[in-house]
């Protein structure tokens, strides 16, 4: 049914909460231990490096929220288990080690790269530590002031302006270790600052032209980031609202602002989907589907049983909506198959399907709400599900 694009085996990626047994570690490729949900910016640094290099590696995802951890793991994330069995931590040390061993130090191509790396520490503000909400909140639980964020964005924009003549990245025309050091934090700022203060948009080309150009370049010219590692606005908004472990939840005064952003996320869902970028990403990864939408279909198919179990646990979902998902597992499975069919057709809702299309839309909306990007899939694939949920929604005036 899914065709040859789905036949290549994917690299090993173990969720240690769901599978706590000790794996057989490879003696030929490194194993990355990173935070389970994709929230940790330091884990993202190392993950992005490995994806950017295009190297073979395995992954073990570790819970950092107080949940169960496997008996064979201790300490912080990220960590690397090298092929010789040795272990190493600290995100930027790992970036440098990977660059030297697997990429001929291309990411540290000049002395000025380290200058831009060091500038991160002096430009980003002091704030309460949090992987979910990095450099966002004061120790009293309130967000940093709008003026503090504006100063940070202005200084970042000015720093990027120093390389305007040679290219959009921190050290010129090519991605370097400097961009990797900054990317996870600027990504979170891009999507979380508008939740905290109205009118604060880091990717606004009028206010911050060089920073906006950097965001654009990362999405257009770094396929491994745009297609897999990068989080999306919807997930970062939801993560920001979660309480505990260094983040006390969103103060009531800014809750309305976050609600307003939900509609904007839906209206712009497909703006991040760029097939030419996806083609470049998939060209060197035979286990990746030919389109972002088909990749979403593949991931849903691989996780079919867990999705059906989750649906039955969440039977109160959307009970006030005009269209209701069925309770029976067989009926839910039919809806799930229809959703996969439409996604394989790249969201073509005119293709034949069994049953009520709005029910398929209801299921897509459920998955969109439950999904965390990049934990479950990349931002482009997630956008295809969000768009389909709206296309088939009973609320859509069509």
Q: How do residues 37-92 score in pLDDT, each as one tens digit?
A: 999 999 999 999 999 999 999 999 999 888 899 999 999 999 999 999 999 999 99
How much is the pLDDT for 132? 77
How much is the pLDDT for 376? 95
Q: Work out whether the CA dihedral 123, 125, 126, 130 comes out positive or negative.
A: negative
The Cβ of residue 201 has, within 10 Å, a number of other Cβ atoms equal to 17
- 129: exposed, middle or buried (Cβ count in 10 Å: 0-12, 13-18, 19+): exposed
Non-local CB neighbours of 267 within 8 Å, separated by 6+ positions: none
CA distance readout (Å), 136 to 107, 130, 140, 251: 28, 8, 12, 12
Domain architecture of the chain: domains with CATH = 4-102 (3.40.30.10), 109-271 (1.20.1050.10), 289-391 (no CATH)
How much is the pLDDT for 4? 36
Structure tokens belonging to residue 11: 């690299």
Non-local CB neighbours of 337 within 8 Å, separated by 6+ positions: 354
How much is the pLDDT for 6? 43
DSSP structural state of residue 131: S
How much is the pLDDT for 270? 85
Strand (E) or helix (H) holding 58: strand 58-62
The Cβ of residue 102 has, within 10 Å, a number of other Cβ atoms equal to 17
Q: What is the CA radius of gyration of the chain?
A: 21
Alpha-carbon gap, residue 143 to 85, rounded angstroms? 42
Non-local CB neighbours of 355 within 8 Å, separated by 6+ positions: 334, 335, 338
How much is the pLDDT for 323? 58
Size (the chain), residues: 398
pLDDT, tens digit only, all 398 positions of the chain: 333 344 456 789 999 999 999 999 999 999 999 999 999 999 999 999 999 999 999 999 999 888 899 999 999 999 999 999 999 999 999 999 999 999 999 998 778 899 999 999 999 999 888 777 889 988 887 889 999 999 999 999 999 999 866 889 999 999 999 999 999 999 999 999 998 888 899 999 999 999 999 999 999 999 999 999 999 999 998 888 775 444 555 555 565 676 777 777 877 788 899 999 999 999 999 999 999 999 999 999 999 999 988 887 776 555 555 556 777 778 888 889 999 999 999 888 776 667 678 888 889 999 999 999 999 999 999 999 999 998 887 556 55
Nearest to 378 by CA among 291, 303, 310, 311: 291
Q: Work out whether the CA dihedral 40, 240, 183, 287 comes out positive or negative.
A: positive
Alpha-carbon gap, residue 362 to 252, rounded angstroms? 29
The Cβ of residue 356 has, within 10 Å, a number of other Cβ atoms equal to 15
155-183 CB burial, b ≥16 within 10 A, e <16: ebbebbebbeeebbbbbbeebbbbbbbbb
* Cα of 387 vs its chain's centroid, Å: 17
């Amino acid at each position: 049914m899914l065709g040859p694009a789905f036949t290549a085996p994917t690299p090993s990626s173990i969720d240690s909460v769901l599978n706590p047994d000790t794996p057989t570690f490879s003696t030929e490729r490194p194993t990355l231990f990173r935070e389970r949900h994709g929230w940790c910016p330091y884990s993202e640094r190392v993950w992005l490096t490995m994806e950017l290099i295009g190297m073979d590696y395995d992954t073990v995802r570790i819970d950092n929220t107080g949940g169960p951890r496997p008996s064979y793991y201790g300490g912080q994330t990220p960590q690397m288990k090298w092929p010789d069995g040795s272990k190493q931590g600290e995100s930027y040390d790992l970036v440098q080690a990977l660059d030297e061993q697997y990429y001929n130090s291309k990411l540290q191509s000049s002395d000025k790269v380290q200058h831009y790396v060091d500038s991160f520490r002096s430009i980003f503000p002091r704030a309460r530590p949090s992987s979910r909400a990095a450099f966002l909140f004061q120790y009293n639980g309130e967000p940093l002031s709008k003026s503090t964020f504006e100063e940070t964005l202005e200084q970042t924009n000015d720093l990027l302006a120093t390389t305007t003549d040679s290219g959009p990245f921190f050290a010129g025309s090519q991605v370097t270790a400097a961009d990797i050091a900054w990317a996870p934090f600027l990504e979170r700022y891009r999507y979380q600052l508008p939740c905290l203060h109205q009118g604060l948009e880091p990717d606004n080309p009028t206010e911050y032209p060089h920073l906006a150009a950097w965001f654009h370049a990362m999405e257009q010219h770094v396929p491994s980031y745009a297609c897999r590692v990068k989080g999306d606005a919807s997930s970062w908004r939801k993560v920001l609202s979660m309480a505990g472990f260094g983040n006390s939840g969103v103060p009531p005064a800014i809750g309305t602002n976050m609600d307003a952003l939900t509609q904007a996320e839906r209206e712009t869902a497909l703006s991040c989907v760029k097939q030419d970028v996806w083609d470049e990403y998939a060209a060197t990864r035979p286990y990746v589907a030919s389109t972002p939408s088909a990749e979403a279909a593949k991931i849903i198919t691989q996780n079919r049983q867990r999705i059906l179990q989750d649906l039955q646990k969440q039977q109160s979902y959307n009970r006030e909506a005009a269209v209701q998902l069925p309770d029976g597992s067989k009926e839910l499975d039919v809806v799930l198959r229809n959703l996969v069919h439409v996604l394989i057709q790249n969201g073509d809702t005119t293709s034949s399907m069994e049953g009520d299309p709005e029910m398929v839309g209801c299921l897509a909306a459920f998955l969109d709400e439950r999904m965390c990007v990049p934990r479950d899939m990349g931002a482009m694939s997630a956008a295809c599900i969000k768009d389909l949920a709206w296309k088939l929604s009973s609320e859509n005036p069509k």
